[in-house]
Chain A
């Protein structure tokens, strides 16, 4: 029995170590944050998502699209849950292609709740020509498309991974975005920054084409609630939370269902164990 469990442990270790090989690469330590949606039971904070959306609109939407999100999604449970009336007004400020009319012309119409956020650029070439050759990615899945790398001694790595699985750490992308947006700084003297590029502590290679969206510093955005500090740090966290929701809109439901399923499985497990003991009690083995 001991051998079996050590075999299981060895295999688990294999699994963990091999997944670890993914993370190998440019190792910039990204600070981890406490998110309301962290871990195995965390849920989104509606008010934070609403603030994050405000930041997206005011500071990012001029360059970054949000193609996979429909206006109605912003009203859904487990999201920012804006009132539908507000969203109808918001949608009507955007224009999308109408169906071809009798003469085959495609005209514009104002958007409705079921429409998605319209694309900002006709194609990648146009986007790059506007942004000096760089491409501002669509932000709908950005929080899942980025992560953090493990920094530390290799022998500790498997334990760190066990801990992450056990604690349900999935916020690498959120941490990265929050870090990126607060990572603008003066470059170190030894570093040459190319024309049109900006120094950023957390961007791989440290030179990013995106100018600091919060160059205006603290108080550049006006929050409705006076309780929330109007600082760059707060903006970064709020918009990162909003983008995390955009990448993973079913997180609240997923974790809630997860707990129900686990409780059910645990009870079934105990019952089966008792039944098994009873049945095997009559045979020698």
Chain B
């Protein structure tokens, strides 16, 4: 790991003593102070640090919420209300957690599109990219599980619709799908049992994400950072040490991000949510429209766009899984989209499609058409 100059100088006798036995401070110093970063990075490269901030924020606020939250069908809704009303600063913590999930996804989408634009998934960064896709998958699972916890109407019906998707597997192996659904629910319908296990998993997954992030950063520090030109740094000394250069820039970007975050938390905390989720879950009353949170909408649109249930499920999952294979689907040797005019065209078309899918919810041909058109251009 000592690829670059080691400037770590333990000062006190205690730190020297530790350094000889467990050089953890030396490791940290090497990875986060001396680490060479390309000097031409733009602000799209600050989202990694921002994502780390989001993850830590979710974990810290989540743990406090978990101290007051009750995962029981009859009490969950009220316990969230109690957190907001009676727990000291509970309104703030709950709001940060709920808004934070959305902010996390804004940041991750920008981060992913950055990677797509600048070809950051290409050799030697395939493993780094795949770890990223796994983090994204785990985040989606966590967000979905978390949204069930307040046990409002949208929580309840969201779980019902999404878990029911698995029953489409019955079309392949009769009985398989329904058995999986029963197994997920812990019974024959969505009940408090389902809520209880979802809470447990919602607690667990962020720590899995944390582990994946550690691997992601490790992989990053092995291959080094890409940069807007896509041309590798030739020697390490081409870069600047991470601290203070990159750290300062990341901090500035973080503050700008947190200002937007704070705007939502303090002034429009419910904007990104759905009013129906303030109605306690009622299995007997189906809401007029069942919609997931905004960050799932493009995928939900694909799902609904395809007339067959199984087909929709397959299309939705392949839209995510295809990301894993992008390093091999894209055979161009040029990394950065700056130097790929045709691909640039498709990139923006793709971005536009995601928007259109998100908005319209149902645009069958257009969505998959452009999506596949894009995959084809990779060849």
A: which residues have CB within 8 A of B? 1, 4, 7-8, 10-11, 13-15, 17-22, 24-26, 40, 68, 73, 137, 140-141, 144-147, 154, 164-165, 168-170, 172-173, 204, 247, 249-250, 253-255, 257-259, 261-262, 265-266, 268-269, 272-273, 275-276, 279-280, 283-285
Contact = CB atoms under 8 A, between A and B. Distances in A.
B43 A4 contact: yes
B315 interface: no
A279 to B, nearest CB: 5
Interface of B: 39-40, 42-44, 78, 81, 84-85, 91-92, 95, 106, 109-110, 113, 117, 240, 244-245, 248-249, 251-252, 255-256, 258-259, 262-272, 274-276, 278-279, 288-289, 291, 294-295, 297-298, 348, 351-352, 354-355, 358-361
Nearest to B90: A250
B357 to A, nearest CB: 9
Given A4-B44, A19-B271, A168-B268, 8 more contacts: A22-B294, A24-B289, A169-B268, A173-B275, A250-B84, A255-B266, A258-B267, A269-B255
A254 B84 CA distance: 11
A17 B295 CA distance: 11
Interface of A is mostly: helix
B274 A22 contact: yes
Given A25-B288, A173-B275, A262-B259, A279 B248 contact: yes
Contacts of B278: 141, 144-145, 247
Contacts of B359: 17-18, 20-21, 154
Most interface-central of B95, B267, B295 (chain A CB within 10 A)? B267
Contact of A279 (B44, B244, B262, B352): B244
A17 to B, nearest CB: 4
B245 A280 contact: yes
A13 B106 CA distance: 11
A20 B272 CA distance: 10
A13 B255 CA distance: 21
Contact of A283 (B42, B106, B245, B270): B245
A-B pairs with the 3 shortest C-beta distances? A258-B266, A18-B358, A145-B278
A249 B244 contact: no
A14 B354 contact: yes
Nearest to A143: B278
Given A68-B78, A255-B266, A265 B297 contact: no
A276 B355 contact: no
A170 B248 contact: no
Contacts, number: 153
Nearest to B264: A165
Most interface-central of A20, A164, A173, A265 (chain B CB within 10 A)? A265
B259 A255 contact: no
Contacts of A283: 39, 240, 245
A18 B42 contact: no
Contacts of B272: 19
A146 B276 CA distance: 7
B266 A1 contact: no
Contacts of A280: 245, 248-249
Nearest to A158: B359
A145 B81 CA distance: 13
Nearest to B152: A145
Given A26-B288, A272-B248, A141 B81 contact: yes
9 contacts: A8-B110, A11-B110, A15-B106, A18-B294, A21-B294, A141-B278, A269-B259, A272-B251, A279-B248
B285 to A, nearest CB: 9
Contacts of A257: 92, 266
A18 B297 contact: yes
Nearest to B240: A283
Contacts of A68: 78, 81, 85
B295 to A, nearest CB: 8
A17 B354 CA distance: 10
Contacts of B92: 254, 257
Given A10-B355, A249-B85, A21 B361 contact: yes
A283 B279 CA distance: 57
B259 A18 contact: no
Given A7-B110, A68-B85, A170-B270, A145 B275 contact: yes
B288 A21 contact: no
A157 B202 CA distance: 34
